[in-house]
Chain A
Amino acid sequence: MRAPLAWIREFTPIDAPIAEIADALNQLGLDVEGIDEPGREIGGVVVARILEVLPHPDADRIRLADVDAGHGTVRVVCGAPNIEPGMVVPFAQVGAHLPGDFTIERRKIRGQVSEGMLCSPRELGLGDDHDGILELPRDAALGTDVREVLGLDDVVFDLAITPNRPDAMGIIGVARDLAAHFSLPLDIPLPDPGPVVDTLDGATVVVDAPDRCPRFVAIVANVTMGESPDWMKRRLTLAGMRPISNVVDVTNYVMLERCRPLHAFDLDRLAGRGIVVRLAGPGEKMETLDGVERELGPDDLLICDGERVAQGIAGIMGGAAAEVSAATTTVLLESAYFEASGIAKTSKRLGLRSEASARFERGVDPNDVAAGAARAMELFGMVASAQRVLGTIDVYPKPIEPARVTIRTGRVNHVLPAELSDDDIKTLLTPLGIDVSGGTAIVPTWRPDVEREIDLIEEVARRIGLDRIRRSVPASPNKIGGLTAVQRDRRVVADVMVGAGFDEVYTLPLVAPADLARAGIEPEKLIEVENPLRAEESVLRPALLAGVLRAVAHNVAHGHPDVSLFELGRVFALAAAGDTLPVERLHLCATRAGRIVQSPYEPDRDVTIHDMTAVVEALTQELRLAEWRLVSASPPGFHPVRAANVVVGGENIGAIGEIDAVVLDALALPGPVVACEIDVDTLLASERVPRGARPVSRYPASAIDLAFVVADTVPADGIVRTLREAAGELLESVRTFDVFRSDALGAARVSLAFALQFRAVDHTLTDAEVGELRQQCIDAVVAAYAAELRG
């Protein structure tokens, strides 16, 4: 909503500085998004007449002009080709300033003194035209400030009006708030619509859908079509609307002024010489003014001619058939009140919004419908030589009464807080048109948003000014802050990853099925977005891996092939039967790609899967997981025999491994890339070992090594577990330190070597004890895995 200050001043005599008015508008909730002061940078430029044009004695392209700005003749040097005697032009006198912080001085041009400058439109900041001097109306008074003549003396506030304030979609509504704020009088003319009649010049109005159109006012006038006068054009332009014709401009003018949308029909082109307001039939179509054929439905309200043929979509846009044109002589003016949510629904469904629909869907004043029509008639008289057909058709079967809302002074004071009396509240609300007496507020129909006590409290707060409300903080013993254990642990997960050298990335949760497929992820059913803007963002990710691999590819493409990335984010899966909402899980996905860059003293090396398993180990250690293991598997996207599932408490909670060459190719990744993806929600819900102290032995340890030859499908960590079980508490630590294959061992056979360290908490272990432990370990492993002890 663009509100020119001069227009506001027609209703309230506000003379505060611009900055103060802008501040007030903000404090009133009429958010100032911008202030246009087209003439702010212009000063000392006046209207002048060119008396005589003379050639420059020493130049061809520039001439001398004698001009009169109302107090004698002065001579200027001018290079414009279009100057001629008699022309009225903007004259920047010596000392004048122009846009661009440019001050005019007396100066010599090719030996001739110039006492100022004649201005082109561009020099006045009026667009790009620099072909010649701007020509002003010949009747403009000499010496007048050009800003007045050009309408540049106004200030326009560009306001963002919230959906609850239809009244502020009109200049009068803005003026009312400002008048209240500055304690100024407010003068709103209420033109008389005249006597109510049933027909006007033979025209009738029938409203078939009174629920959707509670009021319909029509007036008829004979008009002379033409252009609007300059003052009206200028004002509409400042307010952001394009002048069209005098009749259409008047309807727009009243809409902007009173938030009263109007529509003018050419009565002679309305078949059946009348108006019918009805709902559309199934499959009905009509072409709107913008030339688009619209398909309508039974919830769409139409304005039809007397033969029930659609002439416009009520409150949104008219049709071309009965539009006013240069040939129009008789106008039927529609001023109606449509139910707001119906307009909103039709507007949304058709994707069609207009200045009118923006007002109707917020809720215009049903009781200004006739006065608004009368105001238009006044203006028709001024700009279109209108002869009014006496009377007004006013179909208003159930007049809408102002709301009566209970207001308790105690409640107002309690909620704000404040210490207001009944009278204070009355005094605050009266300038808004809200009348308070005996604990009841009568709220004018131009404020449909004020229907409850809390809405009145908001009005009181607005009137007091939010910055003047006493601030404090709740002092309650119930405020006990803290993160839950799971929330803290999520931070731990991220911190472990950062400590392990991984950069955290965010990737979009909206992905393309093709991106998932490239990463080897092709679930049976994806959760689709109904109205995606792009196919690339059309489904919800079922896993993070595809996105993180894309981030790896991004870095490779930008010259950083050696990256370690991780993401902690939600993934989505279809719900179990019976639930509508998908299952959302927090996942961790980590990838390492390329080379591990070493110091200059050692060669760099490729990333291996052990760089990733080490990180998962660190994570499980920090989280003190009671039990977890990797089980060889071929999860989607990973190498078929160089990957594993992450299994916790018997449940498969993720995958780890080398990324399959097929995926690397699809993503144009040079490789190698290793990755893991883990369901963090399940991970954090798994059994943990509580933190607690155990005694630390003072006695020496005994270390032994054991090597076994087993089938290469036997997992090393299985043997480790068997060793732990066999040796019991005296086994302080065990570690796999060698994995060895050879022809001598046989195909699919592997030698695994383990370093064990024994220690007792209460004595030095004897050789006999260690020997016994060693044998227990050997026996257990041999029995469990058909293992062979290596010499």
Chain B
Amino acid sequence: MTATDLAASADHLVASGRKTIDAAATIAELDEATRTLLGKASPLNEIREAIKSVKPGDRAAVGKAVNAARIALEQMLLDRRAELGQAARAASLIADRLDLTTGGRGYRRGHLHPVTRIWRELEDVFVGMGYRVAEGPEVELDWYNFEALNFPPGHPARAMQDTLYVKLGQPEEVMLRTHTSPVQVRVMEKQTPPIYVVALGRAYRNETLDARHSPVFHQIECLTVDRGITFGELLGTIEIFVQALFGPNISARFNPSFFPFTEPSAEFSITCVFCEGAGCTVCSRTGWVEVGGCGMVDPNVFRAVNIDPEEYTGFAFGFGIDRLVQLLYGVDHIKYLWDGDVRFAAQF
């Protein structure tokens, strides 16, 4: 063939190649078309091989035509590849649609018990106020639960405790503690003042579990013993604690009361957290909710643990955690705390 013929064939390949490329409907077909148009066995390659048969003076023209055809074909392939890519992506954007709102796989978070939540909150508030957390056993000796706390045998205050006794030791020597106050005695036996501790824990009484009662309940107890501790500091500490827990609109109020292990003793109430003092059904329209008891550590208690009541004074206060949980979370049924019902647990 002449150089002119070869160049014309190359040009012609561009036109026929366009048809092949346009006919490729998939990337795979396009790959095939690439091999057909540009591969070793392609007509274009044959033309390039044929250059050798052309006289040298004409070879440059043919080479130029072949090169132009190759560039044109490559560009067409590239364009077609982009076109097909876009179409494929458009198709996959329909096929691959996924609804993420169907929920995650298998995983579900758990929940802390509401009492644990308030328990931790209380610990954190007292830790922030400079207190450490003390502990003691739930099964106690008469000495710790009553005797050292100035409940003499036969004292009417003992009868108010609904004690559950345990069949260990002497009759009525061992009991489920009726309050967390025995921890006070254990701490003071071991540690010389200054003492700044809180004790959180379970206490027991002879009651059946129902909407309003439980044989097991949770209490917190605060004990402060140092030189020069005053009754006013007791009132102030409770006031600060109440505000730390409930915020500035809630304050504490005190009325004299009686506990064998404190003197003077008082009961404390807080501004009703629901109505902030305006009066509602929760606080029986008084604006106040009774929370706990407090007082100055009785000298007899100090004597029981060999602390000199002339040198040291101290205060203690305590209250029920379950009651607080009920108030803060609106739990109207004590039994919910003990059922282990996941419908309840999931609310916290």
In the complex formed, the residue of B with least CB distance to A28 is: B256
Evaluate contact between B110 and A498: CB separation under 8 angstroms: yes
In the complex formed, the residue of A with least CB distance to B104 is: A599
Say what secondary structure dominates the interface of chain B. Answer: mixed
Complex Cα distance, B243 from A308, in Å, reads 64
Evaluate contact between A470 and B224: CB separation under 8 angstroms: no
How far, in Å, is B269 (CB) from chain A's closest CB? 9
Complex Cα distance, B23 from A362, in Å, reads 110
In the complex formed, the residue of B with least CB distance to A470 is: B232
Q: Which of B153, B168, B342 has the most CB of A within 10 A?
A: B342
Q: Which of B164, B194, B224, B264 has the most CB of A within 10 A?
A: B264
Complex Cα distance, B313 from A500, in Å, reads 47
Digitize A318-349: 1 where CB-to-B-CB distance is under 8 Å, 0 elsewhere: 00000000000000000000000110110010
How far, in Å, is B307 (CB) from chain A's closest CB? 14
Complex Cα distance, B264 from A415, in Å, reads 10
User: Within 8 Å of chain A (Cβ to Cβ): is B36?
Assistant: no
Digitize B156-187: 1 where CB-to-A-CB distance is under 8 Å, 0 elsewhere: 11011000111111001110100000000000
Complex Cα distance, B267 from A462, in Å, reads 12
User: Within 8 Å of chain A (Cβ to Cβ): is B85?
Assistant: no
How far, in Å, is A602 (CB) from chain B's closest CB? 7
Taking CB atoms and an 8 Å cut-off, the chain B residues in 198-215 that contact chain A are 202, 204, 206-209, 215
Evaluate contact between B253 and A467: CB separation under 8 angstroms: yes
In the assembled complex, which residues on chain A have CB atoms less than 8 Å from the CB atom of B216? Answer: 508-510
User: Within 8 Å of chain B (Cβ to Cβ): is A530?
Assistant: yes
In the assembled complex, which residues on chain B have CB atoms less than 8 Å from the CB atom of A558? Answer: 341, 343
Evaluate contact between B256 and A481: CB separation under 8 angstroms: no
How far, in Å, is A589 (CB) from chain B's closest CB? 11
Q: Which of B105, B133, B166, B267 has the most CB of A within 10 A?
A: B166
In the assembled complex, which residues on chain A have CB atoms less than 8 Å from the CB atom of B9? Answer: none
How far, in Å, is B292 (CB) from chain A's closest CB? 14
Q: Which of B130, B152, B208 has the most CB of A within 10 A?
A: B130
Complex Cα distance, B126 from A479, in Å, reads 11
Taking CB atoms and an 8 Å cut-off, the chain A residues in 612-628 that contact chain B are none
How far, in Å, is B265 (CB) from chain A's closest CB? 7
User: Within 8 Å of chain A (Cβ to Cβ): is B274?
Assistant: no
Digitize B103-122: 1 where CB-to-A-CB distance is under 8 Å, 0 elsewhere: 11111111111011000100
Taking CB atoms and an 8 Å cut-off, the chain A residues in 571-605 that contact chain B are 572, 575, 580-582, 584, 596-602
Complex Cα distance, B7 from A755, in Å, reads 63
Evaluate contact between A504 and B266: CB separation under 8 angstroms: no
**Residue from the list B196, B256, B345 in contact with A29, Cβ < 8 A:** B256
Interface range on chain A (Cβ under 8 Å from partner): 35 or more
Binds A, one of B42-50, B55-63, B68-76, B234-242: B234-242
Evaluate contact between A582 and B168: CB separation under 8 angstroms: yes
In the assembled complex, which residues on chain A have CB atoms less than 8 Å from the CB atom of B233? Answer: 471-474
**Residue from the list B110, B204, B206 in contact with A500, Cβ < 8 A:** B110
In the assembled complex, which residues on chain A have CB atoms less than 8 Å from the CB atom of B133? Answer: 483-484, 487
**Residue from the list A341, A362, A487, A531 in contact with B152, Cβ < 8 A:** A341
Taking CB atoms and an 8 Å cut-off, the chain B residues in 129-149 that contact chain A are 129-133, 137-141
**Residue from the list B166, B209, B256 in contact with A527, Cβ < 8 A:** B166
Evaluate contact between B141 and A581: CB separation under 8 angstroms: yes
Complex Cα distance, B345 from A507, in Å, reads 13
Evaluate contact between A454 and B296: CB separation under 8 angstroms: yes
Evaluate contact between A509 and B138: CB separation under 8 angstroms: yes
Binds A, one of B24-32, B88-96, B332-340: B332-340
User: Within 8 Å of chain B (Cβ to Cβ): is A491?
Assistant: yes
**Residue from the list B108, B209, B341 in contact with A508, Cβ < 8 A:** B209
Evaluate contact between A508 and B166: CB separation under 8 angstroms: no
How far, in Å, is A138 (CB) from chain B's closest CB? 41
In the complex formed, the residue of B with least CB distance to A357 is: B156
User: Within 8 Å of chain B (Cβ to Cβ): is A439?
Assistant: no
Complex Cα distance, B299 from A452, in Å, reads 9
Evaluate contact between A533 and B110: CB separation under 8 angstroms: no
In the assembled complex, which residues on chain B have CB atoms less than 8 Å from the CB atom of A572? Answer: 138-139
Q: Which of A28, A482, A552 has the most CB of B within 10 A?
A: A482
In the assembled complex, which residues on chain B have CB atoms less than 8 Å from the CB atom of A455? Answer: 263
Evaluate contact between B116 and A417: CB separation under 8 angstroms: no
Taking CB atoms and an 8 Å cut-off, the chain B residues in 254-305 that contact chain A are 254-258, 263-267, 296, 298-299
**Residue from the list B113, B196, B257 in contact with A504, Cβ < 8 A:** B113
Complex Cα distance, B263 from A506, in Å, reads 35
Evaluate contact between A600 and B232: CB separation under 8 angstroms: no
User: Within 8 Å of chain A (Cβ to Cβ): is B229?
Assistant: yes
Complex Cα distance, B132 from A436, in Å, reads 42
Complex Cα distance, B128 from A129, in Å, reads 61
User: Within 8 Å of chain B (Cβ to Cβ): is A514?
Assistant: no
Query: Which residues of B come within 8 Å of A, CB atoms?
Result: 102-113, 115-116, 120, 123, 126-133, 137-141, 152-157, 159-160, 164-169, 172-174, 176, 194, 196, 202, 204, 206-209, 215-216, 224, 226, 228-233, 235-237, 239-240, 253-258, 263-267, 296, 298-299, 313, 337-343, 345-346
A-B complex: 8 closest residue pairs judged by Cβ atoms: A551-B340, A479-B130, A29-B256, A505-B340, A162-B258, A458-B264, A471-B236, A530-B165
List 21 interface pairs A-B (beta carbons < 8 Å), by A numbering: A348-B154, A417-B230, A452-B299, A461-B231, A466-B254, A467-B254, A469-B232, A471-B233, A474-B226, A480-B130, A481-B128, A498-B110, A502-B110, A504-B111, A563-B342, A565-B342, A566-B110, A580-B168, A580-B169, A581-B168, A598-B105
15 further contact pairs, Cβ within 8 A, besides A29-B257, A508-B209, A555-B340:
A29-B266, A31-B255, A31-B257, A466-B235, A469-B235, A474-B196, A474-B226, A483-B133, A484-B132, A494-B116, A503-B346, A506-B338, A529-B165, A533-B207, A582-B166
